[in-house]
Each structure stands twice: as C-alpha cells, then as structure tokens.
Amino acid sequence: MKTIALKALVLIVLAGGFMACSDSDSEKKIAALESRLAEMEKAKTLTPASPTATPAKTPDVKPEGPIPTFEWGATEHDFGTINENDVVTHTYTFKNTGEAPLIIEGVRPSCGCTAPSWTKTPIPVGGEGEIEVKFDSKGKPNAQNKTVTVTANTWPKQTVLRFKTFVTPKAK
C-alpha cells in the first residue's frame, strides 16, 4: 500500500513539474527522478545475495608518493549584475605547488549555460595554468549560482569553482 501511495505521489509531482515548466532543466530533473524511481523499484526486487546488486562504493584513498597541488588565485567569482542574453567570461588561474606535474583530467559545468576551457598540457611543478568559464545568460533571469568541477591528479581529485551573478530579465 505504501509503494502505491509513493508511486502516486511521485507521479503527481512529476506531472506537476512537467506541466508547470517546459524548459530543458525541468525535463532533465523529471528524467532523473523517473530513473531514480525505477532504480528504487528494482532494488526492492533484488535480494542481498543477488549478483546484480551494486556493491557499496569504497572511498578514495590518497595516493602514495609525490602529488601535484592546486594553488588557486580564487575559487569564487561574482559577475555582479548583468543583462539577460549577455555572455560573460572569467578566468580562474592556478599554480602547481605540488611535487609532480599537474594534469587536468576534465572540467564539468553544473549547467549547459556554462562552457569551460582549460590548460590541456601537463603543468610542471611551479608552472601556472588557467580555466576559462563562459556563462551565457540567455533564458536565465534573476540570481544564478553555478559551479564548475575540476578533476585532476591532485588530492583531493576534485575541486569546485563557483560563480554567481544577478541577471536582469529582458523586457517582455
């Protein structure tokens, strides 16, 4: 009985979210919720001894030996107030203060409105690099808080860069 009520509640929330907004962010959230619901239902049917059950993730362990280290100029930026449809850019700079060459494995923005580019070559000890972030405010009125996750051969492996802005909506 509880599962039927839970399913009904989730479907009502999904339907309401779908009808209330047709932008791609809402559609992505709905798809993620549907996927999570399917996983929960599948997990109920699996027994603990089932070979298809997902094992618990083991925590990352700090690697042995010399490792590179980010020293950031700043990990946060405020664009201030901009107008809707403006495209703004900020460059985050860093220095490798570790004991080995630094390699950026990937840079992932939190939203499709953000486009990063970064130093692709290994940064030697004492060397400098940068990550440029472009934010397109089209269709993004009001307060915006975005992140960019940098994955590298550092410890910890991920660093989160943040930026914020207030987007003045365009006149209708």
User: CATH says 70-168 is which class?
Assistant: mainly beta
2 three-state secondary structure:
helix
Nearest CA among 94, 92, 101 for reference residue 128: 94
Inter-CA distances, 125 with 43, 67, 71, 151, Å: 47, 10, 11, 18
Q: Which of 6, 8, 162 is nearest to 77 (CA)?
A: 162
Task: Give me the pLDDT at residue 50, please.
Answer: 47
Whether 80 contacts 48, CB under 8 Å:
no
Number of other CB atoms surrounding residue 97 within 10 Å: 13
Q: Would you call 153 helix, strand, or coil by DSSP?
A: coil
> Which regions in the chain score pLDDT beneath 70?
1-28, 31, 33, 37, 41-59
Question: How many Cα atoms sit within 13 Å of 63 on the Cβ side?
Answer: 13
What is the reported pLDDT for 21? Answer: 43
What's the N-to-C CA distance of the chain in angstroms?
48
132: β partners:
91, 117
The pTM (predicted TM-score) of the whole model is 0.65
> What is the token pair recorded at 121?
């070559």
Query: Where are the domains positioned within the chain?
Result: 2-45, 70-168
pLDDT in tens, 87-120: 999 999 999 999 999 999 999 999 999 999 999 9
In 3-state terms, what secondary structure has residue 52? coil
CB-CB contact of 103 with 48 (8 Å): no
pLDDT at 64: 85
